[in-house]
Structure formats: structure tokens, C-alpha cells
């Protein structure tokens, strides 16, 4: 392959395969993307054009500010009247920004989006009543005459609307944000650009990681495909050994705990902070109680002895999370909040949660932690356990019981089904 590609020096379309062109834009000065992501050398907004015997398809557009570059590249390859199909694999503004103008310029084009994208289309463009579109899902395809595009329904990678589009005859996967990264390089192709491994993994960790379950579902559709090239919407085009990025996604999305230990056990992690050893004592007893339930593997961590990042990794793979904090000045302690506010990159929905702690006179921490866990879409099978100052033998017994009951809920042991009064719950 030529090493002379420099897409920053011109505004023409770049052929990536037979009659398939890159018509995207470079954004080398971007340093923060979508508030949550940093990028050391910018990003690209990749858009593609596929020519067929009976019309042209444009796949994804660019961020609105970069529309001029996109339209210049597009115009270098085709006339707007040739565009028959516009596909948006994902409606986030960095891919839909040039859509309204493109629809205006391409009067014969029809828009193809996923069903979930329709409400976003309306909310993003506001003028969508005038837009003609067709919703598609796995198994649907659209013909360009001598070649056709097939759609793969891959929701939540990383929005509800996301899909991938596959060009059958060239075995090219237009993957949207999947397999993408924020890495700007004028040489465009993965075999020519600099070392983008960090950017690729960082992008996965922040964008795809919360949706691992959905990544695994999508991989079931992607892995059987023949793949000559993967064309994502950000970062290098993956033409050299594209399959290895698919394999890498599977590795990143598979539970390290299951791979490492091969255990079928449910994992419960108990984190605690303790100022006088009372909350620590409770944690130990809760751990004892939980550990007595077969099929539950309990881990106990003092937050004072660790750092947030590895704890986030542990939390991601745990099935139940318990937090113990003393109450100081009416609040849970900072290391607990530091950890509980660092969990946006992992999916906690449906994990079991519980809170406990010793207190001196008011004991608000336990309820506050429970509320935070509910906010994180965890569910709390047992009301939190609070002990005033030093736990008595009786209270330590309650701790064991508390741990045991959450562990039993974890392995699906039915709780009592007595009818409770609503008023008693308040």
C-alpha cells in the first residue's frame, strides 16, 4: 500500500475499495469530545460513499461545522442527483450534523435508519415531519443495482439507535461508532497511521464498555461475516487484518472473572471505610454471613487501602455490591462517594446493592448510599443496616443475617411472601 496518502492536503474523495469512497472530515485540534472523552490528537468524522449501477449511497455524515469539507469531497466523486440512499448508522450530532443539508441537496435520496432512531431524528432535527425515511433492521437490505447494502440491528453500541451496514460484494462493514476511536491521522488507514492502540482501547472503555452485553449480541451478527475492511465513523479505516479488531472486542467484552477463575459462583464485593473499627467489624460479620451461602464468593475491601480505578473494574464484574460507611457530619465519607461517582463507565443495572454503617448520633450515610445505588439502577433487596457506635453481640448477629439474606437473594432463594402493609414500608 502507498504511504503517500495525505487527506489533509486536499478535499477530494478517497477510494477505500472498488467504487467505495471516504468522504469524511479531519478534526485534528479537538481535545475533548462529548465532555467525557479526551483525545490527544483530535478525531475524524468518517463518512462513506458507495457507487452502484443504479445509484449511490452515502453512509453517515459529519459534525455540522465540518459539512463544507464533507460536501467538497462528496462533490468530487458524484453529483447529488445520483444519491439514492442515505444511511445513518447512528444519529448523534457528529454523524447527523450535515444530514438536513444533504437531504436538501439530494432530492432523490431516501433515508434509512433503525426503528429506534426515529424519535431521535425528530428530537435532533425538529423538521423531521418533512423527512422521508425507511426504518430497517437485521435482514433488510437496499439495492444499488449491481450491489446491495445489508443492515445489522446492533442497538446500544452506544445509543439505542445504533446499527451497522454491510456491503456484501466487497465484504465491507460500515460499523458506525463500533470499532472506532478518536484518533486523527491524515494517512487514514490502519496500516499507515501511527500507533492508535491506546486510542482504540480508551474509546472502547468509555463508549462501549457500559454496553458489553449488547456488544456480545452484536458480535454474534458481525463475527460470521466475511470482512475485508471495517469502516468506522471515527479514527482509522481498518483494512489490514480487520478481523483482529473483532476478536479484540470480544476479549474486551468477556468477563475477566469468568475467564480467569472459570467459576459459576455469584460474586459479592463489600467495600467499607471505618474510623474507629466499628463499620469494619460490621463488614467482617456481613462477609461471614454472606459467605455461608453456597454459590456466593465474597470479597472484602477497605477503601482506605485501594484506588478507584481497579475497584471500578472489580465492581463491573460483581453481582452484588455492599458499601459500608460511618456517618460523619451527616454524610457518608468521601472515598465512598469517590467510588460511587466513578461508575458511569460500567453497567450496574440490576446488580444487588446494600449499605451499612456505624454512626454516632444521626446515621444518614446508609440511606444516602442506598439512594445513590438506586440511582445507579441497582436494586436493594434489604433495607440498610445501621448500628449506633460499637456493635453489640446481638447487632453483630444482625450483620451476619443481613449478609446472609442479601447472598440468598443473589442466588435466587425466595424471600418470605407474607403480605406487608404499604404504610409499614414508609
Partner 1 sequence: MAKAKITFDDIGQTVNVPAGTRVIEVSEKVGAGIIYGCREGDCGTCMMHVVAGWNNLTQPSVLEEKVLKENMAGRHDRLACQAQILGDCRVKPA
Report the residue from 63, 73, 116, 187 that binds partner 1 according to the rule CB under 8 A: 116
Nearer to partner 1, 116 or 212 (CB): 116
DSSP for residue 50: E
DSSP for residue 216: H
Three-state secondary-structure class, residue 155: coil
Considering only residues 365 through 384, tell me which ones interact with partner 1, judged by CB under 8 A.
374, 377, 379-383
Nearer to partner 1, 270 or 378 (CB): 378
421 forms part of the interface with partner 1 (CB under 8 A): yes
**Residues 6 or more apart in contact with residue 193 via CB below 8 angstroms:** 183, 185, 187, 236
Tell me if 89 sits within 8 A of 218, measured CB to CB.
Answer: no
Nearer to partner 1, 341 or 415 (CB): 415
Nearer to partner 1, 35 or 423 (CB): 423
Tell me if 129 sits within 8 A of 148, measured CB to CB.
Answer: no
CA–CA dist 409, 404 (Å, integer) = 9
Burial code (b: 16+ CB inside 10 Å, e: under 16) for 44-72 equals bbbbbbbbbeebbbbbbbbbeebbebbbe
Tell me if 354 sits within 8 A of 380, measured CB to CB.
Answer: yes
349 forms part of the interface with partner 1 (CB under 8 A): yes
Instruction: Give min distance, CB of 417 to partner 1, in A.
Output: 4
Angle at 251 between CA 249 and CA 254, to 5 degrees: 105
122 forms part of the interface with partner 1 (CB under 8 A): no
Three-state secondary-structure class, residue 107: coil
Nearer to partner 1, 55 or 353 (CB): 353
Considering only residues 388 through 417, tell me which ones interact with partner 1, judged by CB under 8 A.
409, 414-417
Site string for partner 1, 265-294 (x = CB under 8 A): ------------------------------
Instruction: Give min distance, CB of 383 to partner 1, in A.
Output: 8
CA–CA dist 321, 318 (Å, integer) = 7
213 forms part of the interface with partner 1 (CB under 8 A): no
422 forms part of the interface with partner 1 (CB under 8 A): yes
DSSP for residue 355: E
Judged by CB under 8 A, the stretch of 116-124, 200-208, 213-221, 263-271 that binds partner 1 is 116-124
Q: How many residues bind partner 1 (CB under 8 A)?
A: 25
Instruction: Give min distance, CB of 413 to partner 1, in A.
Output: 10
Tell me if 398 sits within 8 A of 288, measured CB to CB.
Answer: no
Instruction: Give min distance, CB of 286 to partner 1, in A.
Output: 17
129 forms part of the interface with partner 1 (CB under 8 A): no
Strand order in the sheet with 266-272: 296-302, 266-272, 320-324, 352-359, 385-388
CA–CA dist 211, 217 (Å, integer) = 10
Nearer to partner 1, 84 or 212 (CB): 212
Instruction: Give min distance, CB of 426 to partner 1, in A.
Output: 8
Site string for partner 1, 5-34 (x = CB under 8 A): ------------------------------
Binding site for partner 1 (CB under 8 A): 115-116, 118-119, 349-350, 374, 377, 379-383, 409, 414-422, 425-426
Amino acid at each position: 500500500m502507498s504511504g503517500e496518502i495525505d487527506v489533509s492536503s486536499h478535499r477530494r474523495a478517497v477510494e477505500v475499495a472498488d467504487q467505495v469512497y471516504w468522504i469524511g472530515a479531519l478534526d485534528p485540534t479537538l481535545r475533548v469530545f462529548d465532555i467525557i472523552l479526551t483525545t490527544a490528537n483530535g478525531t475524524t468524522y468518517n463518512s462513506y460513499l458507495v457507487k452502484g449501477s443504479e445509484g449511490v449511497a452515502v453512509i453517515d455524515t459529519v459534525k455540522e461545522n465540518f459539512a463544507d469539507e464533507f460536501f467538497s469531497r462528496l462533490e468530487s466523486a458524484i453529483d447529488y442527483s445520483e444519491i439514492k440512499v442515505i444511511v445513518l448508522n447512528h444519529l448523534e450530532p457528529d454523524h447527523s450534523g450535515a444530514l438536513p443539508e444533504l437531504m436538501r441537496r439530494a432530492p432523490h435520496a431516501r433515508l434509512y435508519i433503525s426503528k429506534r432512531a426515529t424519535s431521535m431524528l425528530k428530537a435532533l432535527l425538529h423538521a423531521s415531519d418533512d423527512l422521508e425515511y425507511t426504518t430497517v433492521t437485521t435482514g433488510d437490505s437496499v439495492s444499488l443495482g449491481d450491489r446491495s447494502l445489508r443492515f445489522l440491528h446492533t442497538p446500544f453500541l452506544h445509543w439505542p439507535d445504533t446499527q451497522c451496514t454491510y456491503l456484501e460484494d466487497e465484504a465491507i462493514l460500515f460499523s458506525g461508532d463500533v470499532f472506532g476511536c478518536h484518533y486523527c491521522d491524515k494517512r487514514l488507514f490502519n496500516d499507515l497511521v501511527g500507533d492508535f492502540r491506546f486510542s482504540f482501547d480508551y474509546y472502547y472503555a468509555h463508549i462501549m464498555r457500559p454496553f458489553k452485553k449488547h456488544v456480545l449480541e452484536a458480535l454474534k451478527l458481525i463475527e460470521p461475516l466475511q470482512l475485508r475492511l471495517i469502516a468506522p465513523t471515527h479514527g482509522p479505516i481498518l483494512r489490514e487484518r480487520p478481523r483482529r479488531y473483532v476478536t479484540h472486542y470480544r476479549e474486551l467484552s468477556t468477563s475477566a472473572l469468568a475467564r480467569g477463575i472459570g467459576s459459576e459462583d455469584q460474586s459479592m464485593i463489600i467495600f467499607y471505610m471505618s474510623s474507629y473499627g466499628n463499620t469494619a467489624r460490621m463488614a467482617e460479620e456481613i462477609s461471614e454471613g454472606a459467605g455461608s451461602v453456597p454459590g456466593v464468593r465474597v470479597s472484602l475491601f477497605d477503601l482506605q487501602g485501594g484506588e478507584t480505578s481497579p475497584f471500578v473494574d472489580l465492581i463491573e464484574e460483581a453481582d452484588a455490591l455492599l458499601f459500608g460507611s460511618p456517618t460523619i457530619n451527616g454524610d457518608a465519607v468521601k472515598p465512598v462517594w469517590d467510588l460511587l461517582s466513578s461508575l458511569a463507565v460500567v453497567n450496574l443495572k440490576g446488580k444487588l446493592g446494600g449499605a451499612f454503617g456505624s454512626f454516632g448520633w444521626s446515621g444518614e450515610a446508609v440511606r444516602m448510599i442506598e439512594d445513590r445505588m438506586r440511582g445507579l439502577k441497582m436494586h436493594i433487596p434489604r433495607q440498610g443496616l445501621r448500628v449506633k457506635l460499637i456493635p453489640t453481640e446481638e447487632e453483630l448477629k444482625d450483620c451476619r443475617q443481613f449478609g446472609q439474606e442479601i447472598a440468598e437473594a443473589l442466588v435466587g432463594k425466595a424471600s418470605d411472601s407474607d403480605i406487608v402493609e404499604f404504610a409499614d414500608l414508609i
